Amino acid sequence: MIGAIIGDIVGSRFEFGPVPQKSFELFTPDCSYTDDTICTIAIADAVLNERDYKESLLDWCRRYPDPIGGYGRRFYQWFNADDPQPTDSCGNGSAMRVSPIGWLFDEWEEVIEEAEKSAIVTHNHPEGVKGAQCIAEAICWLRLMRFSKSDVERKVEKFFGYELPSMRDIKKIGSEGHFDGTCQETVPMALRCFIDANSFEETIRLAVLCDGDTDTKACIAGAVAEAYYQIPEWMIEKAISYLPDDMLIILGQFYERIQDSCGTKKE
């Protein structure tokens, strides 16, 4: 979960800002948490405190209605509606917020089911559901079954139908100014960044350098990378410094719940 939050914060200043350069500084005063972190916290809160996913998302998004970069137009309308209903969206928001489910459930069937439940309150398009299920399942594969990266790539293609693009193709798309707003675009891109990287930090850097939806690509890539790599302590401490107290409470609850797993990640 902190992997997702780090990716979000690092990528935040580039989403609608300058084109990232190769040796960019990870954390600056221009960075902040975005809707990606808010929604990730909401999903964790729902599971940890036995809240309905819809109720928790509405609570947290209404609590923080104006993060840096804002919310997607349809999602903003959703959480401000009197009676919010699913929007048939295949946007990448369902995948960027799902990482807590990959950690808090251990059975394959449960992970798939809960990822769908977390998605369909807003993103009930099949691609929106699939994107959330894929990321939650990849995290579960890595943390519990210790799959290799090549195993993850093969299984993502077999079970979810995603053929991961090359880094060259992803960077070309980004350089052309395309904003990858859907699950079917962002999820394969984020997974490729994780698979091609050699560390947690490199995963985040690759995702940001692909440009486009930098905070969400880095959020998803960071979420998966956390299940494989040890995150440098200084990066965790820096990310935490950006978060308000109520988010830190949920983050603390989350790591108390999974503390046994936290000590067994791959180096």
Q: What is the pLDDT of residues 139-192, one digit of tens each?
A: 999 999 889 999 999 999 999 999 999 988 888 887 777 888 999 999 999 999
What is the model's pLDDT at position 16? 84
Q: In the chain, what are the domain boundaries?
A: 2-14+32-262
Residue whose pair of structure tokens reads 């890539």 in the numeric block: 221
What is the model's pLDDT at position 8? 98
Does 30 carry a binding-site annotation?
A: no
Does 215 carry a binding-site annotation?
A: yes
Does 59 carry a binding-site annotation?
A: no
Closest CA to 127 of 154, 162, 102, 167: 162
Whether 25 and 262 have beta carbons less than 8 Å apart is answered as: no
What is the model's pLDDT at position 185? 95
Helices 35-48 and 214-226, axial angle in degrees (round to 10): 40
Average pLDDT over residues 96-116: 96
Average pLDDT over residues 97-113: 96
Whether 70 and 57 have beta carbons less than 8 Å apart is answered as: no
Does 180 carry a binding-site annotation?
A: no
Whether 93 and 182 have beta carbons less than 8 Å apart is answered as: no
Does 34 carry a binding-site annotation?
A: yes
Helices 2-12 and 233-240, axial angle in degrees (round to 10): 70
Whether 180 and 186 have beta carbons less than 8 Å apart is answered as: yes
What is the model's pLDDT at position 221? 98
Is residue 267 over pLDDT 90?
no
Alpha helices in 21-121 (DSSP H): 35-48, 53-63, 73-80, 93-96, 99-104, 108-120
Whether 118 and 53 have beta carbons less than 8 Å apart is answered as: yes
Whether 206 and 196 have beta carbons less than 8 Å apart is answered as: yes
Is residue 261 over pLDDT 90?
no
Q: What CATH homologous superfamily does 2-14+32-262 map to? A: ADP-ribosylation/Crystallin J1 (1.10.4080.10)
Does 52 carry a binding-site annotation?
A: no
What is the model's pLDDT at position 191? 98
Question: Hey, what's the torsion of the CAs at 6, 127, 135, 167, to 10 degrees?
Answer: -70
Mapped onto helix, strand or coil, the DSSP state of residue 91 is: strand
